Amino acid sequence: MQAASTIPVFKLYGEVQGWPTPDLLHCESILQ
């Protein structure tokens, strides 16, 4: 299997921060 050269990103509903770069990531903690 060939590795992907790009990772698809999606702007999530409710995001208010602008995307200054193409690699901005959205992270959330997972409650245990």
Q: Would you say 19 and 11 are in contact if contact means Cβ atoms under 8 Å apart? A: yes
Q: What is the maximum span of the chain, computed from C-alpha positions, in angstroms? A: 37
Q: Would you say 11 and 25 are in contact if contact means Cβ atoms under 8 Å apart? A: no
pTM more than 0.75: no
pLDDT, one tens digit for every residue, the chain (32 residues): 566 677 666 666 666 666 656 666 666 677 76
Q: Would you say 26 and 12 are in contact if contact means Cβ atoms under 8 Å apart? A: yes
The pLDDT value given to residue 31: 75
The pLDDT value given to residue 30: 75
Encoded tokens for 16: 């208010």
Q: How far is CA 20 from the centre of its chain?
A: 13
